[in-house]
A and B are shown apart, each in its own frame.
Chain A
Amino acid sequence: MARKPILAFAFVAPALLFLAATLVWPLVSAFVLSLQNVRGIGTSGQWVGLENYRFILTYAAFWESAGLSLVWVLANAIVQTLLALAAALILHQKFPGLRIARTWIILTWIVPTVVVVMIWRWLFSTSGGMINPLLIQLGILNRPMGFFATPESAFATLVFINSWRWFPFIALMMLAGLSRIPTELYEAARIDGASAFKRFTRITWPLLAPTLTVLLIIGTLLSFNVFDIIWLMTQGGPAGGTRTLPILIYETAFRSYRMSEAATIAVLATMLLMAFAVLATRSLARSGDER
């Protein structure tokens, strides 16, 4: 097709300009802010060069949060990918009520996060919540436990809640990958006498792998940035046990009123994620070329 730069520009420019104004420009302002010493919103500050970076990189709370964020991303990736994979494989089968199941599994994702948080706070609570009696009845617990009482259990509970919210969406994207695998392959394998396990490891898994990789990257970015569920549920507590980087940024900016330091943490987190995204998409592109 002939190059029509003006037309292409007319098609792409509105979206790009919009994103430049709403995402890129604020990012640049955040970087500028990180080189100053602004405290409250709207107040002015002086240029301090890289002073904030020197401070943040030696700030224990920053490294604690970075570590928590890493664990958070890994834990969510594992839990949510496994749940999604199992769900997608089931929804790929034929059974009565399939269409209903495919549509309504997404229910957890279309509900406002505030409501998700309220639902689980109630279900996990020790007064009237359903989870404690259920676990006691099943013999897993012998007395009610406070799920948000210790840093570790609060963290694990939040991983569960966040994965619960996101796994159906990821499952549907996996289902998209599954439904592009030609059914002839399965038929041929069946005729050759391949077992169900073999059909999975030799056909489903290798053909689904590219989709899984894309979803792992998206999932990583999405869960790294999760703020509302954690903030509304625990506000980063108890004892900072759920204070991931987005929570630390918010606290620093809106609780301690140290805008510049918050911006510095944000810039560092962004650089980290960008590096991850660039490396991940590049290796993805390479493996795509090889196929």
Chain B
Amino acid sequence: MRRGRSWNAVLVAGLLFFVALVGLPFWWVVSGSFKIPQEIIARVPTMFPQSFTLEHYQKLLSSSDYGTYLVNSLVVSSLSAFITLLLAIPAGYAFFRLEFKGRETYYRIILLAYAFPSIVVLIPLFGMFAKAGLVDTRTALVIVNVAFALPFAIWMLRSFFASIPKEIEEAARLDGGPPLTVLWRIMIPLTAPGIAAVAIFAFVTSWTEYVFASVMILSDARRTIPVGFSGIIGQYQVDWGLLLAGASLAILPVVIVFAFIGRWFVTGLTEGAVK
């Protein structure tokens, strides 16, 4: 698409605005984590670090179990994403293709899952987990995270399936494939970017979850990053250097993950979804 010069100027200005809005906070945090304490609290903040130190990172890693939190977070988030897909793919396909009684009603009800404050289910769920002996386990976190990601995942997947040309699926069915084979051989490969997007959605939902993780997990060894990090915030209220180092280390893993698969999330979202 061709653009006029003034239009280009608007575009560049808008782009700069968003780069600043999203990028600057992260730049300040990461660059701040390498500054010496005096520079961090200087009256006139520095845009680029004038000093360099690793003391905040050393202190952080020696005074907390950051590595453990990281592993816990990765395990819980990956499992949550996997189980979400396992449940959402057949359900999304059935809601899109198979006919059964009350299909639209069930589908509506699933979407209503976001129509109540999640705080509401915290109390009863805690009671249920207590009876089942699941309090203070990572299993409990996986169950909760899947519950919160699942409705949206089903909704997204249904529209991904709907974006596949009907002819392709029909040809496969005429060849005598049962629905499970059609789903597995044709539909899943064709919607791979969408499925990746859903997986990433579920992963991020559980990666960022704080409230339930803070209530359900009691022992330090099972804490996820958000809970572990909030513990550090509580302990070192005003030690900004330490907190900035902690924030940087909490950001790093998702950034690495996203560097590899972030592209899929965006193509997946923009090629299907939101019907």
Contact = CB atoms under 8 A, between A and B. Distances in A.
Contacts of A4: 98, 179
A235 interface: no
A219 B19 CA distance: 23
Contacts, number: 274
A103 B266 contact: yes
B82 interface: no
A119 to B, nearest CB: 5
B44 A95 contact: no
Given A18-B147, A250-B119, A270-B117, A29 B229 contact: no
Contact of B95 (A3, A12, A27): A12
A19 B120 contact: no
Contacts of B243: 118, 122
Given A41-B127, A128-B42, A133-B45, A196 B115 contact: no
Contacts of A218: 114
A7, A42, A109, A274 interface centre (most CB from chain B within 10 Å):
A7
A4 B246 CA distance: 53
Nearest to B212: A228
Interface in B120-134: 120-121, 123-128, 130
Contacts of A30: 120-121, 123-124
Interface in A67-112: 83, 86-87, 90, 93-95, 99, 101-112
Contacts of B272: 176
A263 B254 CA distance: 36
Interface residues of A, number: 99
Residue of B117, B128, B240 most packed against chain A (CB within 10 A): B117
Given A26-B121, A115-B247, A274-B115, A211 B274 contact: yes
A227 B118 CA distance: 9
A274 B112 contact: yes
B45 A128 contact: yes
A262 B11 CA distance: 49
Contacts of B7: 196
Nearest to B98: A8
B124 A29 contact: yes
A23 interface: yes
Interface in B245-265: 246-247, 250-251, 254-255, 258, 262-263, 265
Contacts of B108: 281
Given A112-B250, A128-B42, A211-B274, A249 B91 contact: no
Interface string B85-119: 01110110111011111010010101111111111
Given A122-B244, A227-B118, A11 B94 contact: yes
Nearest to A226: B117
B143 interface: yes
B140 to A, nearest CB: 10
B263 A99 contact: yes
Given A8-B100, A107-B22, A164-B21, A112 B127 contact: no
Interface stretch (B23-31, B55-63, B184-192): B23-31
B118 A112 contact: no
A111 B179 contact: no
A277 B103 CA distance: 18
B74 interface: no
A216 interface: no
B25 A273 contact: no
A26 B112 CA distance: 15
**Residue from A23, A186, A270 having most chain B Cβ neighbours under 10 A:** A23
Interface stretch (A47-55, A56-64, A149-157, A167-175): A167-175
A184 to B, nearest CB: 12
Contacts of B40: 128
Contacts of B254: 110-111
B72 to A, nearest CB: 13
B36 interface: no
A266 B29 contact: no
* Residue from A15, A95, A108, A262 with most neighbouring chain B CB atoms (10 Å): A15
Contacts of A95: 11, 15
Contacts of B97: 1
A139 interface: no
A104 B262 contact: yes
A176 B273 contact: yes
Contacts of B172: none
9 contacts: A26-B128, A29-B124, A41-B127, A128-B40, A130-B28, A221-B115, A266-B120, A267-B120, A269-B116
Q: Closest 8 A-B residue pairs measured CB to CB? A: A26-B124, A11-B94, A22-B147, A26-B121, A29-B124, A15-B91, A8-B100, A270-B116
Given A127-B238, A221-B114, 7 more contacts: A41-B123, A107-B26, A113-B210, A186-B1, A225-B118, A227-B118, A245-B117
